[in-house]
Amino acid sequence: MNICVVGTGYVGLVTGAVFADLGNEVTCVDNQSDKIAALRAGHMPLYEPGLEEMVVRTVADGRLDFTEDLVGGVRRSDIVFITVGTPPGDGGQTDLSAVEAVARTIGQAMERYLVVVNKSTVPVGTGDFVREVIERHQARPIPFDVVSNPEFLREGSAIEDTLRPDRIVIGAPSQQVAMTLLELYAPLERPMIITDVPSAEMIKYASNAFLATKISFANAIANLCELAGADVTQVMKGMGLDARIGPAFLAAGLGYGGSCFPKDTDSLIHTASTFGSDFVLLRAVVEINRGRAAHFVEAIRKALSPLDGKIIAVLGVAFKPNTDDMREAKSIEVVSELLRLGATVRAYDPVALDNAREVFPASVTYCASAHEAAAGADAIALVTEWNEFKFLNLDRVRQVMRRPVIFDGRNVWEPERMRRLGFEYHSIGRKPILPA
């Protein structure tokens, strides 16, 4: 099939590359000329394992192209995927201005029947909105259909999630239109569900809201475990073995961040309010998550007070492992509060330091390794659970620190091991290991 993908962020670039890898002719469109030039030169605008190799391969094979020409991309294609950003607006409302701009150009450019697919995360009702915008900007009436096909990829495993998704959701106005998407996705041989357009739009938000709820529930239990002397990792393991609950997203820690969960929970709360429904449960989920970084820093302050002049090595600044994305990263809150309390911050992350420099205060020192960050430090604060931190030579780390204290915001290490190694160890929802 001839496919046009509008937007070259995480969703658009991965979607375009995978469809091209499956044998389709794909044109990826973006209005940022520097990004298009970089992509044509084989340089990725983001870090995602396996993506660069797939893009380079499909470009060399002539199945993937990059352009600023949206009109040309629309006219060459049978299907147009809208994958532009939908950032949060005031009060949680989703900003659909980029989606509207794309729909306007599609209406002006289309010359024959087209399937327009909303893959951006958009609130329920956006399909009707896109249809109205396209119709309003057509020079003459041309038939088309609008489909909702939400993405469920995770940064850091986006290629795998696109090639082997748990399910493919197709919200279509008719069975005939749905068949076009079924044919496109057929090579993946994954479960597909066909719904109406509003239901597909709601599935995306409901899924992310539920996962965010599991995370906040685990963190609320962690707070109680700290007070009661229980171990939240054991509690969550015992819960997760219940087939009705499952173990995923039950890890206590610093809470959720990134470009999806914070935005999508706020958007669903706002959408509910527009229909006259107060989503009390989800508001509580957001409030619990909002307090996680402050809870972590307070533990650091209590143990090291005063923080004036103390050197804190912050390990991990990306919002999650295997990405360089700093959007809504918990490190931003943690570092800002540590600096406000007078601490000196030395930061290390395997891939996200360049992006961190754009959001962190100038006073942060950036290090080339975890060991360099730990050298002479009064404490380590682990914020992002990169695999390399799990396998650190902790004996060597302890020897170079001024004071062997670790604050583990992701429960990466086992308390008993830290006791044997001679660390003072504070984690989430578990008893601290204190000096004898």
pLDDT in tens, the chain (436 residues): 999 999 999 999 999 999 999 999 999 999 999 999 999 998 999 889 999 999 999 999 999 999 999 999 999 999 999 999 999 888 889 999 999 999 999 999 999 999 999 999 999 999 999 999 999 999 999 999 999 999 998 888 999 999 999 999 999 999 999 999 999 999 999 999 999 999 999 999 999 999 999 999 999 999 999 999 999 999 999 999 999 999 999 999 999 999 889 999 999 999 999 999 999 999 999 999 999 999 999 999 999 999 999 999 999 999 999 999 999 999 999 999 999 999 999 999 999 999 999 999 999 999 999 999 999 999 999 999 999 999 999 999 999 999 999 999 999 999 999 999 999 999 999 999 998 7
Spatial separation of the C-alpha atoms in residues 311 and 372, rounded to whole Å? 12
Domains detected in the chain: 2-195 (3.40.50.720), 204-285 (1.10.1040.10), 292-426 (3.40.50.720)
Q: Which of 106, 101, 171, 98 is nearest to 134 (CA)?
A: 106
Q: What is the pLDDT of residue 335?
A: 98
Check: CB of residue 404 under 8 Å from CB of residue 340.
Answer: no
Neighbours of 333 (CB within 10 A): 20
Q: Which of 70, 259, 253 is nearest to 158 (CA)?
A: 259
Phi, psi of 315 (to 5 degrees): -100, 115
Sign of CA dihedral 179, 61, 39, 46: positive
Phi, psi of 118 (to 5 degrees): -80, 110
Cis peptide before 198, with omega less than 30 degrees from 0? no
Percent of the chain that is helix, strand, coil (3-state, to 5): 45, 15, 40
Spatial separation of the C-alpha atoms in residues 105 and 278, rounded to whole Å? 36
Of 4, 28, 225, 260, the active-site residue reads 260
Q: Which of 352, 283, 284 is nearest to 319 (CA)?
A: 352
DSSP code of residue 8: -
0.85 surpassed by pTM: yes
Q: What is the pLDDT of residue 159?
A: 93
225 is a catalytic site residue: no
